[in-house]
């Protein structure tokens, strides 16, 4: 091999090394992996410190926007400085509102083209105030419109009618096909008044609320349902009130309760979860770890054990 060939091969090898580095492969990739492996715990600790000290609900970590934020910061690289307090509450907030308005205009065009449904969602906040959220659904999707404090509105049909009529006016009567509310007597009467004034639309009771009322009647009027639901509540309250028991119980990442739904639906969902996790519950209350624990020897613990193991 002559000197020119040897030099050419060396140059070619050098290009391959740089190529591997530029594509995230080779030595650089190995160094990155070692760095990530060594500092993953430190980064995780910093993330949770931010969550804990800011009192951020743990569910926020499941928000796709949070995952996207972490990815974009990583892509930016070392030296990224977050926006200032002033930027978040002024400039960036205005930009976010403008972006939302642009997206909303796209939905409004769909309301005109295909029609839409106005939906009300009533709930009670921590101060016991009645709040009603209004949403608009169309083939393009569902968007949040606005919220109202209905503490002084939701009791009488006339005031509820005025509230619903204002929403229809805001969305555009020519766009609204139906208005969906819960099935309470005042909303039903308001719905009739609304259809008398706005002859092109229909008032429709919320199917979820109707089902919830059916569940309520089941619990109130069927003894076997009332007793079973009480037992289910005692079992879940006992387990969730003792963190050591949660670590013993293997639920495959499932919760025994579903707090994000209405009261009576929650009761039946809880019974469903208890049934699905029956084997895990029976194993726990039959285990030696349970039998020798302070819970298994207590009177209250034995009562709950008997409920679970009673066939």
pLDDT in tens, 76-90: 988 999 999 999 999
User: Which of 37-41, 92-96, 134-138, 165-169 is the least confident region?
Assistant: 37-41
Please choose, from the candidates 270, 286, 282, the residue with its C-alpha nearest in 3D space to the C-alpha of residue 308: 282
Question: CA–CA separation, 133 vs 127, rounded Å?
Answer: 16
| Contact status, residue 212 vs residue 267, Cβ threshold 8 Å | no
pLDDT for the residue 308: 87
Confidence at residue 17, expressed as pLDDT on a 0 to 100 scale: 41
The pair of three-digit structure tokens given for residue 208, joined into one six-digit string: 């979820």
What's the pLDDT tens digit per position in 175-233? 999 999 988 888 999 999 999 999 999 999 988 888 888 888 898 899 999 899 899 88
Q: What is the Cα–Cα distance from 210 to 117, expressed in whole angstroms?
A: 18
Residue ranges covered by each domain of the chain: 8-82, 98-205, 214-309
Phi, psi of 30 (to 5 degrees): -65, -45
* CATH code assigned to 98-205: 3.30.420.10
Q: What is the pLDDT of residue 258?
A: 58
| pLDDT at site 310 | 79
pLDDT at 36: 65
Cβ atoms of residues 234 and 304 within 8 Å? yes
pLDDT of 52 higher than 50: yes
pLDDT of residue 21: 45
What Å distances lie between residue 264 and 211, 218, 229, CA to CA?
9, 9, 10
Q: Which residue is associated with the tokens 């119980």? A: 249
Which pLDDT does position 10 carry in this prediction?
43
Q: CA-based angle 218:221:225, to the nearest 5?
A: 50
pLDDT at 257: 61
Q: Output the six-digit token pair for 214.
A: 């059916």
Share the mean pLDDT of the chain: 83
Distance CA 267, CA 281 (A): 18
Greater model confidence, 171 or 248: 171
Q: Is the pTM of this model over 0.75?
A: no
**φ, ψ (nearest 5 deg) of residue 56:** -85, 130
**pLDDT for position 259:** 56
Q: Has residue 18 got a pLDDT over 50?
A: no
Dist CA 202 CA 11 (whole Å): 77
pLDDT higher at 281 or 247: 281
Q: With 60 as the cut, is the pLDDT of residue 20 above it?
A: no
Which pLDDT does position 28 carry in this prediction? Answer: 54
Percent of the chain clearing pLDDT 90 (strictly above):
41
Q: What's the rounded mean pLDDT across residues 96-114?
A: 93
Report whether pLDDT(129) > 50: yes
Tokens 């139906």 belong to 178
Question: Quick one: which of 42, 201, 207 has its CA closest to 111?
Answer: 201
Flag whether pLDDT at 299 surpasses 80: yes
- Length of the chain measured in residues: 311
Helix, strand, coil % in the chain, rounded to nearest 5: 65, 10, 25
Query: Cα dist. 69→44, 63, 242, 249 in Å?
Result: 15, 10, 36, 34
Q: Please, how many CA atoms are within 13 Å of residue 1, restricted to the half-sphere of its CB?
A: 8
CA distance 156 to 108: 31
Asked if pLDDT for residue 251 goes beyond 70, the answer is: no
Q: Which of 179, 180, 183, 158 is nearest to 169 (CA)?
A: 179
pLDDT band at 238 (very low <50, low <70, confident <90, very high): confident
């Amino acid at each position: 091999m002559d000197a020119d060939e040897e030099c050419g091969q060396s140059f070619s090898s050098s290009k391959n090394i740089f190529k591997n580095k530029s594509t995230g492969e080779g030595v650089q990739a190995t160094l990155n992996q070692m760095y990530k492996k060594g500092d993953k715990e430190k980064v995780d600790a910093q993330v949770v410190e931010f969550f804990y000290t800011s009192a951020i609900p743990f569910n926020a970590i499941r928000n796709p926007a949070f995952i996207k934020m972490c990815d974009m910061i990583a892509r930016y690289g070392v030296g990224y400085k977050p926006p200032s307090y002033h930027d978040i509450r002024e400039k960036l907030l205005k930009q976010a509102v403008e972006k939302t308005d642009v997206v909303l205009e796209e939905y409004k065009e769909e309301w005109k083209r295909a029609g839409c449904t106005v939906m009300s969602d009533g709930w009670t906040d921590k101060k016991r105030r009645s709040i009603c959220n209004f949403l608009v659904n169309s083939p393009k999707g569902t968007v949040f419109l606005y919220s109202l404090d209905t503490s002084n509105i939701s009791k009488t049909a006339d005031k509820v009618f005025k509230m619903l009529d204002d929403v229809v006016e805001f969305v555009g009567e020519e766009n609204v096909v139906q208005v969906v509310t819960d099935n309470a007597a005042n909303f039903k009467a308001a719905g009739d008044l609304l259809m008398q004034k706005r002859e092109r639309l229909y008032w429709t009771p919320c199917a979820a609320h109707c089902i919830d009322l059916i569940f309520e009647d089941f619990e109130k009027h069927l003894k076997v349902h009332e007793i079973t639901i009480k037992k289910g509540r005692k079992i879940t309250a006992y387990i969730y009130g003792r963190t050591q028991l949660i670590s013993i119980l293997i639920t495959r990442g499932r919760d025994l309760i579903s707090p994000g739904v209405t009261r009576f639906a929650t009761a039946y969902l809880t019974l469903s979860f208890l049934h699905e996790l029956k084997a895990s519950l029976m194993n726990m209350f039959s285990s030696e770890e349970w039998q020798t624990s302070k819970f298994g020897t207590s009177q209250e613990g034995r009562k709950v054990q008997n409920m679970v193991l009673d066939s």
